[in-house]
Amino acid sequence: RGAVHGAVVRGAVHVAVVRGAVHGAVVRVSCPENTIENGAVAHGTVHVTVENGTVENGTVENGTVENGTVENGTVENGTVENGTVENGTVENGTVDNGTVDNGTVENGTVENGTVENGTVENGTVENGTVANGTVENGTVENGTVENGTVENGTVENGTVENGTVENGTVENGTVEIGTVENGTVENCTVHGTVENGAIERGTIENGTVENGAIENGAIENGTVENGAIENGAIENGAIEKCAIEHENGTVENGTVENGTVHGTVENGAVKNGTVKNGTVHGTVVNGIVENGTVENGTVKNGTVKNGTVHGTVVN
């Protein structure tokens, strides 16, 4: 029950180790007053608290690492506070304000911490950052994914920068210069690319949607290729070979090429495309207006079927 100021080698320690090195000790005590301060635990198991110390190739079970480092070790059901986990694993544990370098977080939580080049499996990152790492089946809440990948996971109120979301979901977050593949974007803003994914009630700014669907969303200065837009608005953007499949859709100052519009085109151009049951306030070039209206616009080499023209018809 005393304090050990030296090195304890290959022994079982049931007391507090202060400023010492433990090279094989199994600490089986669970009292909160038993603490390893400024010491190193190598190849051992710790059930208590390590303060400002190092755990190398060892295990921390149901314990706490404060301001310390876990190298190549494992934290099971424990907590890492303001510490670092290097090449180690955190299982069912929590990392508070700490860093995980090249390590793995399984079923655990990272709060206000950073995951660098590591992996989060079935875990949660809250208010933290995932840099160059991977989130598998996990959740990022109010955090940031930088140059990383989210696979089958969720980003809530967070940001994806230069990263990729595969088969995952971005809710109320932002995708900056990143990619969403086969995933879903809900109520958020995308500055990057959406491939084969769906955008629900979100906004695409200066981005591209390829083979994806936009529902109740807006596209600003972006491009939609082979995708579908329902109840959405296109501002200063381009639509190529896709359809706005609702009469409530709007294209403002944009271009529709080889596509179909069921809504309104204002001050825009329809090239080789079709406007069905809609209104064109712009120009129709080699296109078709079916059952629609052209107001104050121009029809060049195009066709108006069962519609009304209040503007100019050229050729």
In this prediction, residue 89 carries a pLDDT of: 94
pTM attached to this predicted model:
0.86
> Residue 4: its pLDDT value, please?
61
* Structure confidence at residue 7 (pLDDT): 58
Say what the pLDDT of residue 156 is. Answer: 94
Largest CA distance in the chain: 101
- Alpha-carbon gap, residue 152 to 6, rounded angstroms: 49
Alpha helices in the chain (DSSP H): none
pLDDT of 169-205, one tens digit each? 999 999 999 999 999 999 989 999 999 999 999 999 9
Q: How far is CA 211 from CA 19, 94, 226, 228, in A?
A: 61, 40, 5, 8
Query: How far, in Å, CA of 178 to CA of 168, rounded?
Result: 13
Q: Contact, 131 vs 147, CB < 8 A?
A: yes
253 touches 238 (CB < 8 A):
no
pLDDT of residue 36: 86
Residue 208 and residue 239: Cα distance in Å, rounded? 10
CA 240 to chain centre: 27
The pLDDT of residue 27 is 63
Residue 42: the pLDDT is: 85
Q: How far is Cα 198 from Cα 126, in angstroms, rounded to an integer?
A: 25
> Which stretches of the chain score pLDDT less than 70?
1-34, 246-247
| Predicted local confidence at residue 17, as pLDDT | 65
CA separation for the pair 154, 132 (Å, rounded):
17
| Bridge partner list, 179 | 164, 193
Neighbours of 92 (CB within 10 A): 16
The span from the CA of 184 to the CA of 214, in Å, is 10
Q: CA-CA distances (angstroms) from residue 190 to 77, 118, 262?
A: 37, 25, 25
Q: Report d(CA 125, CA 47) in Å as an integer.
A: 25
pLDDT digits (tens, 9 = 90+) for 15-66: 566 666 666 666 654 444 568 888 888 888 888 889 999 999 999 999 999 9
Average pLDDT, whole number, for the chain?
Answer: 88
- What is the distance between the alpha carbons of residues 240 and 295, in angstroms, rounded to a whole number? 23
